[in-house]
């Protein structure tokens, strides 16, 4: 009785804790080490064509990535990368992908220090509200997610269509094509497997068989009928497999195997940048959730420049004194007034200046980027954007060790 009361009390406590637990919208990209997000694929100019689409409508995601020069030593080089989408299941159908204007069918090698422009066309499939990210799946590293947007899909899932025309002119529905054939094959092997188990389970098992072994009667455990049935199955299974293979090849003589090649897509043309930037020192203040870096900037161009933005781990820190468009950036990745420059004045042509750049916002904690100070590789990386007096943007990649500050 005491044990019953104890179990009842334990179940009551657990039930109460479950009721008190708030609903959580999990963002799996935040679990990836911050030094990976900041120093591998650096996302910028990511845009979504809409934040609400109906079933069968298209969603287009565009943007650019800069492959960091300061690639972490603990991560293999990006010899193969695959552009994809992170979503909670098959809520969208990916129809087309382009890298630098070329069709992206397979993986491609990424060149460090260079930029790539991407475009993906998705088709809405299942109604609901989902967090949709572009991502690069990098060999031996995993998914490096870009910024995500909450997208609403409306309509009826049963109205979704996914038809294609074969080379022979036959129109098929990819949602249901081959389903019956797959079910038949699964049922065949399930029936065969269950029958084999029943054949052995039908007779006394553990204790009687153990007693026979103890009495040195092992030879009686497997009868002549058992051996004959095993021989029959040994012959039947290969016959079924090869028969199915020959039937499939005769019915579908033209097939496309899984592809294993690489898309050799060159990066965007390298633009001569008038900006040379080097981080002299970087500190992250934990209580203030602010990173302060002293950056030596040299203007080798013919026009004065001003720092307008710092981007790292998909988070944009914007200089509030400048008019920079951030309308396409989800609010969780935007620190609208998060960038402070001292002195915040123009860097004249030919001038070399050390400026104090402060990137301060709760996004450091919310996006789990501040935990980089606890990593074995406590270096940060990001993109610094400078603008000339005509609004032209110049990009430069920066990185440095990050020193924690506790007060």
Residue 207 φ/ψ region, left for φ over 0, alpha for ψ in the -120 to 50 degree band, beta for the rest: alpha
Nearest to 399 by CA among 31, 28, 112: 112
| Residues paired with 359 in a beta bridge | 291, 339
What is the Cα gyration radius of the chain?
A: 30
Nearest to 293 by CA among 301, 305, 285, 303: 285
Residue indicated by tokens 């002549």: 224
CATH code linked to domain 26-163: 2.60.120.570
Per-residue tens of pLDDT for the chain, all 407 residues: 554 555 555 665 555 544 444 444 445 677 888 999 999 999 999 999 999 999 999 999 999 999 999 999 989 999 999 999 999 989 999 999 999 999 999 999 999 999 999 999 999 999 999 999 999 999 988 899 999 999 999 999 999 999 998 888 889 999 899 899 999 999 999 999 999 999 888 877 777 777 878 888 777 788 889 899 999 999 999 999 999 999 999 988 888 888 888 999 999 999 888 999 999 999 999 999 999 999 999 999 999 999 999 999 999 999 989 989 888 899 999 998 899 999 988 999 999 999 999 999 999 999 999 998 888 888 999 999 999 988 899 999 999 999 999 88
Query: Could you tell me where in the chain the CATH 2.60.120.570 domains are found?
Result: 26-163
DSSP code for 22? P
Torsion angle (degrees, nearest 10) of CA 331, 334, 336, 340: 160
Are 389 and 303 spatial neighbours (Cβ–Cβ below 8 Å)? yes
Query: Could you tell me where in the chain the CATH 1.10.287.710 domains are found?
Result: 173-251
Rounded Cα–Cα distance for residues 312 and 36 (Å): 11
Q: Are strands 275-285 and 403-405 parallel, antiparallel or unpaired?
A: parallel
Residue 209, phi then psi, degrees to nearest 5: -70, -35
Sign of the CA dihedral running 319, 320, 322, 325: positive
Rounded Cα–Cα distance for residues 111 and 8 (Å): 61
Rounded Cα–Cα distance for residues 362 and 365 (Å): 6
For domain 173-251, the question of CATH label 3.40.50.300 is answered with no
Give pairs for 22-26: CB < 8 Å, separation 24+: 25/131
Residue 128 φ/ψ region, left for φ over 0, alpha for ψ in the -120 to 50 degree band, beta for the rest: left
The tokens describing 263, both together, are 């898309």
Nearest to 343 by CA among 312, 297, 384: 297
Query: Which are the contacts of 166, defined by CB distance < 8 A and separation ≥ 6?
Result: 172
CB atoms within 10 A of CB 205: 10
- Which string of DSSP letters, residue by residue, matches 230-260? HHHHHHHHHHHHHHHHHHHHHH-----PPP-
Query: Could you tell me where in the chain the CATH 2.60.40.1580 domains are found?
Result: 275-405
The tokens describing 71, both together, are 């690639």
For domain 275-405, the question of CATH label 2.60.40.1580 is answered with yes
């Amino acid at each position: 009785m005491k044990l019953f009361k104890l179990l009842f009390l334990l179940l009551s406590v657990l039930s109460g804790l479950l009721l008190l637990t708030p609903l959580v919208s999990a963002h799996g990209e935040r679990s990836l080490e911050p030094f990976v997000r900041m120093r591998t694929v650096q996302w910028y100019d990511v845009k979504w064509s809409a934040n609400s689409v109906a079933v069968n409508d298209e969603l287009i995601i565009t943007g650019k990535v800069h492959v960091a020069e300061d690639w972490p030593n603990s991560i293999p080089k990006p010899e193969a990368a695959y552009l994809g989408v992170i979503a909670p299941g098959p809520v969208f159908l990916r129809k087309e992908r382009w890298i630098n204007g070329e069709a992206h069918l397979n993986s491609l090698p990424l060149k460090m220090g260079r930029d790539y422009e991407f475009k993906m066309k998705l088709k809405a499939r299942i109604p609901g509200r989902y967090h949709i990210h572009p991502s690069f799946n990098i060999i031996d590293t995993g998914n490096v997610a870009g910024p995500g947007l909450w997208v609403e899909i409306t309509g009826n899932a049963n109205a979704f269509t996914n038809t294609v025309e074969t080379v022979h002119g036959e129109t098929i529905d990819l949602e249901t094509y081959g389903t019956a054939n797959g079910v038949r094959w699964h049922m065949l092997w399930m029936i065969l497997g269950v029958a084999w188990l029943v054949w052995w389970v039908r007779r006394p098992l553990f204790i009687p068989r153990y007693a026979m072994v103890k009495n040195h009667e092992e030879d009686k455990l497997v009868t002549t009928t058992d051996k004959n049935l095993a021989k029959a199955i040994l012959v039947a299974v290969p016959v079924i497999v090869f028969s199915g293979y020959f039937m499939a090849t005769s019915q579908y003589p033209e097939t496309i195997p899984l592809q294993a090649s690489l898309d050799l897509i060159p990066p965007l043309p390298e633009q001569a940048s008038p900006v040379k930037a080097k981080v002299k020192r970087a500190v992250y203040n934990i209580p203030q959730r602010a990173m302060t870096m002293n950056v030596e900037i040299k203007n080798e161009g013919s026009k004065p420049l001003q720092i307008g933005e710092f981007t790292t781990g998909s988070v944009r820190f914007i200089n509030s004194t400048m008019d920079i468009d951030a309308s396409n950036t989800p609010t969780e990745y935007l620190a609208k007034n998060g960038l402070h420059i001292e002195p915040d004045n123009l860097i004249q042509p030919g001038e070399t200046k050390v400026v104090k750049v402060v990137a301060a916002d709760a996004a450091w904690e919310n996006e789990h980027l501040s935990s980089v100070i606890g990593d074995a590789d406590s270096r940060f990386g990001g993109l610094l954007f400078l603008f000339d007096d005509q609004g032209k943007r110049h990009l430069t990649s920066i990185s440095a060790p990050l020193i924690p500050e506790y007060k």
